[in-house]
Structure 1
Amino acid sequence: MHSLNFLSRLDGHARGFCLVLLAAFCYGLQPLFAQYAYAGGADPVGLLLARFTLAAAVLLLILRGRGIGLPKGRLARQNLLLGVGYGLAALGYYSACHSTSVSLAIILVYSFPAFVTVVSILCLGERLSIFKLASLVLALGGVLMATGLSLSGVSMGALWALFAAVCYGASIIYGTHRITHENPLASAAMLLLGCALTFAVAALLQGAALPSTASAWWATLGLAVFATLVPVAAFLAGSPQIGPSTAATLSTVEPVVAVTIAVLLMGEAFTYAMFLGGVMVMLAAVFLARQGAAERDVSTVQGGATSDR
């Protein structure tokens, strides 16, 4: 209650800043909740099936209470497809964390802005600049540093993390260039349903181990609420008030939180090479996000000037 009162007293930009920062922090809690769920018998497919099913159910109840309908037709199909992409990214991330260190997994997953930039330049006509090229080299150098200066013979966990980065990047490209949302919360509900459907199919094809203890189910519920619904709502509410560049920059708090939890609470080792590689990848992500936002601002100004003519 006190935190809500505090937010209500802030101006729009400060409130948006705090909400996006809250979203990044909550997303960073995922490894902590997942650890307790795994200890209670869950595997990545079963945990993610439970996570997204619970999150979708709660959000659908919220939408029903507010009288908000779900997207229909083409938009519904697009959001479901986007959910499949995000679901595959989550599968890669959680499988990586389950088979290698959380620290390495989150560093590799956060190389996704470099993938988005490469695809945008090669396939979508985005202009290549020296700044972008330097950022891409920085991101690649960070990945190589974190994985031991070589991609040959990397662990299956590292490959899962890189798979997650590719799926996440592809989903961002598709969502940015193909979808116009009518209501962000309704679209989020369809996206969560797409994620749940992805893991329902995966469970049918290969089986899944759901949480089997009360503590594991509490951890799964915490994952669904505090590391899924809360950050989704906070980000949707806060990002329009501060702009995409600042929102993307603040989102890099997520890997910092996740790595801190892994080292301090989960007892993971964190090497100098991983630290240096992580810093390089995070800097590249921030630089690419701010460069992309600056280019969108220029395009908007130029478009407005053209329409004035």
Structure 2
Amino acid sequence: MDRRSLIIGYSLVASGSALFASKAIFIKLAYLERYDALLILAWRMVFALPVFLFVGAFELVRRRRAGVPLPRRNAVLGAIGIGLIGYYLAMILDFGGLLYVSAQLERLALFTYPIFLIFIGAGFFGMRLTRTSLIAAFISYLGLAAVFATDFSAGGSNITFGTALVLGSAVSFAIYQLMAKRYISDMGPTLFTSVALSAAAVTTLLHVFIVRGHLDTSMSAHYFLLAAGTGLLATVIPSFFVNAGMARIGAASTAMISNVSPLLTIYFAVVLLGEAFTLSHALGTALVVGGVGYHTWRELKAPARA
């Protein structure tokens, strides 16, 4: 692959990771105006859904014109089901957790999903549990415990509840990652993402209307800008950036670059939200990112050893 294509790939993944990192910041800023997880989640989907529907429809038209077979019905149903696990359920838990924990703790807890993926994969999907996996898990959760203990001293039981919700979101996303591969191979990443996200968005909006009977529109223009940022800048654009970059540089390199995401979230949280960043936060962050990074690095080396 030529140098220019690699540079574009790395730039797309890095930009996508940076935009993903802004999600918690948009949400926290929205909470300052309206302390309601379900509301900002619903408006996130209002802004994101039309784009995913358009991209999905465009991909279907492109396939028909090119004579490419349409995906099987079972694949579409699978993408819908997995989307509800990996996006709808994960988002509900994540946004709920952000009501109680800092943006820094949320991002670090969510970032541990590869560790959950390892253990769930070993328990239910026949994956091998290695010494590298165990070391990475120990390092990462030691770091998470350091940040949790620091925040717990200030927030008490709310921190425990919020962290549990975010870890539940990480588990949901890990299950999604394990189950999605076969359907992505069948449908292609663009169509799969459009179907999965559209299903999650529609379900989220139905959830709101069932629980509340309407979608509140009484917020300020500033709130709608934050919701649009959450839906477009922190959801739609990075999804396509990362997918496009991954097509150029591969999944392994994409995973390595994505390690910068929690660091950027922490930077934004300190600068924009005024969150404290202590020595314990620094140590915990280094351990969490180091543990996940160590596992990814070992996985990159594994083919060379085989």
TM-score with structure 1 length normalisation? 0.84
1:146 aligns with 2:153: no
> 1:106-163 CA deviation, whole Å, 9 max, x = no partner?
1111111111111222333322332222112112212222211899955211111111
Structure 1: runs of 5+ lacking an equivalent: 1-8, 303-309
CA distance in 2, matches of 1:12, 1:104: 35
Summarize the alignment of residues 100-115 of structure 1 with structure 2, pairs less than 5 Å apart. Answer: 100-115=101-116
CA distance in 2, matches of 1:58, 1:274: 37
Question: Who is 1:34 aligned against?
Answer: 27
Q: Are 2:112 and 2:170, in contact at CA under 8 Å, matched by a contact in 1?
A: yes
CA distance in 2, matches of 1:176, 1:183: 10
Amino acid at match of 2:142: G
CA distance in 2, matches of 1:188, 1:239: 14
Partner residue of 1:256 out of 251, 263, 266: 263
Amino acid at match of 1:103: Q
CA distance in 1, matches of 2:32, 2:147: 27
1:270 aligns with 2:277: yes
1:198 aligns with 2:228: no
Amino acid at match of 1:216: Y
Shift of 1:191: 1.4
Q: Are 1:71 and 1:190, in contact at CA under 8 Å, matched by a contact in 2?
A: no
Question: Who is 1:78 aligned against?
Answer: 78
Partner residue of 2:229 out of 222, 225, 235: 222
Q: Are 1:47 and 1:209, in contact at CA under 8 Å, matched by a contact in 2?
A: no
Q: 1:56 to 1:292 in 2, by over 3 A?
A: farther
Question: Who is 2:67 aligned against?
Answer: none
Q: Are 2:104 and 2:269, in contact at CA under 8 Å, matched by a contact in 1?
A: yes
Amino acid at match of 2:99: H
CA distance in 1, matches of 2:211, 2:137: 37
Q: 1:61 to 1:197 in 2, by over 3 A?
A: closer
> 1:76-119 CA deviation, whole Å, 9 max, x = no partner?
11111122122221222222222221111111111111111112
Q: Which one is further off, 208-217 or 112-121?
A: 208-217
> 1:173-198 CA deviation, whole Å, 9 max, x = no partner?
11135652423222111111122133
Helix, strand or coil: the match of 1:99? coil
CA distance in 1, matches of 2:76, 2:238: 22
Shift of 1:31: 2.3
Amino acid at match of 1:231: P
Question: Who is 1:285 aligned against?
Answer: 292
CA distance in 1, matches of 2:209, 2:33: 21
Structure 2: runs of 5+ lacking an equivalent: 64-69
Amino acid at match of 1:168: F
TM-score with structure 2 length normalisation? 0.85
CA distance in 2, matches of 1:222, 1:68: 29
Q: 1:294 to 1:33 in 2, by over 3 A?
A: same
Q: Are 2:140 and 2:288, in contact at CA under 8 Å, matched by a contact in 1?
A: yes
Q: Are 2:20 and 2:234, in contact at CA under 8 Å, matched by a contact in 1?
A: yes
How many corresponding residue pairs? 291
> 1:232-275 CA deviation, whole Å, 9 max, x = no partner?
11111111211211101111222111111111111111232222
Question: Who is 1:306 aligned against?
Answer: none
Summarize the alignment of residues 139-218 of structure 1 with structure 2, pairs less than 5 Å apart. Answer: 139-148=140-149, 155-176=160-181, 179-207=184-212, 210=216, 212-218=219-225
- % identical aligned pairs: 21
Q: Are 1:38 and 1:216, in contact at CA under 8 Å, matched by a contact in 2?
A: no
Q: Are 1:120 and 1:126, in contact at CA under 8 Å, matched by a contact in 2?
A: yes
Q: Are 2:20 and 2:238, in contact at CA under 8 Å, matched by a contact in 1?
A: yes
